[in-house]
Amino acid sequence: MPAHVLAVIDHDCPGTEDMHDPLYFCVGLRLQFGGIDLVLRGPAVSSALVAADGPAPPEGNGARLPNPQRYVRSLVRAGVRVWVDDADLAGLRRDGQVLIDGVRTADTDAMAARWNEYEEVWFL
């Protein structure tokens, strides 16, 4: 079912716990709007990449280092559809990195043809 808001992030996401961070902002949007989808393009794609052989960082860890991946995981677990741009992924992914489980890839420019399915399309 189409979500209410399509959020697009195409710049760096430091993963801090404040409104300046677009992913943190996105988590807040999901809480309010319920249905949101998320597209990550450009440098933001890195927020969806993790080491293939490393364990996920423990949640609830007292040391809250900037960690954009935790927001992406949280959004996916909450049912948000998250896409990364396939061309940007090819350019940014390093050896040994994989996408966070549940994140999809797409030609996100071609996805513009689906913008009409959303009430709002916001570049965060």
Partner 1 sequence: MDGQTGPRWDLLLVVTSDQYGSVRFGTVRRLIDTALRSGHSIQVWACGEANGLTELGPAGAGHSPGEGSPAAGSRSRGGKRPAAEQIGALAAGNVGRFTWLACQTCSGERGAGEHVPGLPTPSFSDLRDYVAQAAKTVFIGGA
Partner 2 sequence: MQSVDTGNAVPGELHAHAQLLVESKSPPGPGTVSRFLRAARHLAATGTQTGVYLIDDGVDYAVSAQGEVAWVLGAGGRVWADEVSLSERGIKTGQLAPGVVVAGLDAIAEQLFDPAVRVVWH
Report yes or no: 2 and 31 within 8 Å, Cβ to Cβ.
no
Separation of alpha carbons 15 and 71, rounded Å:
7
Buried b (16+ CB within 10 A) or exposed e, 21-46: bbbbbbbebbeeeebbbbbbbeebbb
Phi/psi of residue 78, nearest 5 degrees: -85, 0
Mark residues 65-104: x for contact with partner 1 by CB under 8 A, - for none. Answer: ----------------------------------------
Partner interacting with residue 19 (select from partner 2, partner 1, none; CB below 5-8 Å by kind): partner 1
- 99 forms part of the interface with partner 2 (CB under 8 A): yes
Judged by CB, which is closer to partner 2: 65, or 113? 113
Mark residues 33-52: x for contact with partner 2 by CB under 8 A, - for none. Answer: --------xx----------
Judged by CB, which is closer to partner 1: 42, or 102? 42
Q: ∠67-104-108 over CA atoms, to 5°?
A: 100
Q: How far is the CB of 98 from partner 2 (least distance, A)?
A: 8
Partner interacting with residue 116 (select from partner 1, partner 2, none; CB below 5-8 Å by kind): partner 2
- State the pairing for strand pair 49-51/120-123: unpaired
Separation of alpha carbons 77 and 2, rounded Å:
17
Residues at the site binding partner 1, with contacts judged by CB under 8 A? 11-12, 18-20, 22, 25, 28-29, 31-33, 120, 122-124
